[in-house]
Structures are given as C-alpha cells and as structure tokens.
Amino acid sequence: MTGWGASSPGRSRGTALPSDVDAAFSDGRHLDDDYLVRRAQGGSVAAFEVLVARHQQQVFRLAHRLVGERAAAEDVAQDALVSAWRALPGFRGEAGFATWLHRITTNAARQLLARRRSTVPLTGEEPVPEHEQPEARALTTARTDALRVAVRELPFEQRAALVLVQFEGLSYAEAARTLEVSEPTLRGRVARARRSLLEQLRGWR
C-alpha cells in the first residue's frame, strides 16, 4: 500500500527571491562566486544558474579527463553540478567554490565508473571528429593520441591525481585535499602515473 505526503516546501526559483533580484542574475557576470553561493544557499536557482554557467567548462573538462568519453563526461558533469546544488547548504566556503567543485566532480566520476564496472565496461573509444581525420596528422598528434589512451588506462586514483596536478594545475597540497588523501600518498600516485606514462613514451621512439 502506498500513501503520499508533502515534505517541507522545496527550494524553488520563484519563492525565495524577489523578482528584481532574479532579473539581476540574468546578467550575473559582475557578481562574484561568494555572493552567488550565498544566494544559492538561500534557495535561489537563478543564482545557481549563473554559477553553473560560469563553472560548467571546468567541471566538464575535468569529468572528460577522468572518464575519457564525452557522453559519460556529460553524465558526470550533470551529476556533479546537481550534487553541488544539494550539498550547497553544507558548503562552508573555506576551499573556494571551484575547488569544492573539483572534489564533487571527482567523486561523481568515481561513482559513475564504479557503476559502469558492475555493468558494462567503458568502450574507451571515441569517434575521431571529422576535422581531425588521419590525412595530415603530425607525429606529435599521434603521440598525443597515444598519451590520451595511456592516461585513460591508468587506475582511477592515479589518473585523478595526475589530472588534478598536471592538467588542472593544482598544487600537491590542493590535490591531496581534493582527493581527501595525505600529500605523500598523492605524490606517490602522481609518481606512479608518470612512471606508467614514461614507459609508453619510450615505446613511441
């Protein structure tokens, strides 16, 4: 038997904000993250929308680097940003919104890959965009392709460490905090990842 009940009113676009403030967000470029985060924490979907527009590139790029294919990366990016909305009330702002998103995105990627592993394996193959068809590919492009595959084949925790430090430009300390491990552990993972990639690199010569 199933019954229904009303939970406490959810946060919604219309109720929490006067409409003039909502309108201001339609051109929210001048508003800083801290302000928008506070408004979003107060229930403003409009403020969150500006944050999403501002950070989606970073979130998608990290997701793509972590899961290796665009369709899966879109899922991860969506899940991460929706999780961010749900977790916002608990966000204290010590780390900065962008850093916090790194952690949420990494967790979303880890979860997706764990789910996939229990069902179907990642194909790991992406169609090559037409403008990048073989014809005039330089050797360096071939090397970049091989490196992309090698990065994708690293164990997840090594790949995450490498990507955060070497692609996203985080310091060891920041990356360690993002992955919630100690700094020596993080350094060890980056070193192991680099060792694997160097093996590959020797193979290209």
Partner 1 sequence: MTGDALRHDEEDPVDGAELDGALRELAAEAEPVPSGLAGRVVERVDGLAGHDWHAVLVQPGGRTRVAGWVVALVARRAAAAVDGVGGATSRASADGVDGVVVELGLTVRAGVPLPSLAEQVRRSVVGAVRELTGVEVVAVDVHVDDLVE
User: What's the CA gap between 28 and 24, in Å, rounded?
Assistant: 6
By CB under 8 A, residue 5 contacts partner 1: yes
Taking the complex as a whole, the smallest distance from the CB of residue 30 to partner 1 amounts, in Å, to 19
Neighbouring C-beta atoms of residue 142, cutoff 10 Å: 12
3-class SS at 202? helix
Q: Is 177 within 8 Å of 127 (Cβ atoms)?
A: no
Instruction: Give residues 80-139 in contact with partner 1 (rule: CB under 8 A).
Output: 81-82, 85-86, 119, 127
Applying CB under 8 A, the site for partner 1 has a residue count of: 54
18 makes contact with partner 1 (CB under 8 A): no
How many angstroms separate the CA atoms of 154 and 149, rounded? 9
177 binds partner 1 (CB under 8 A): no
Q: Which of 36, 45, 101, 108 binds partner 1 (CB under 8 A)?
A: 45
Provide, rounded to whole angstroms, the least separation between the CB of residue 15 and partner 1.
Answer: 9
| Closest among 111, 125, 105, 124 to 57, alpha carbons compared | 105
Phi, psi dihedrals of residue 189, rounded to the nearest 5° = -65, -40
Q: Using the rule CB under 8 A, is 69 a contact of partner 1?
A: no
Q: How far apart are CA 103 and CA 83, in angstroms?
A: 11
Residues in the site for partner 1, rule: CB under 8 A?
Answer: 1-13, 43, 45, 48-49, 52-53, 56-57, 60-61, 64, 70-71, 74-75, 77-78, 81-82, 85-86, 119, 127, 140, 143-144, 147-148, 151, 165-167, 169, 190-191, 194-195, 197-198, 201-202
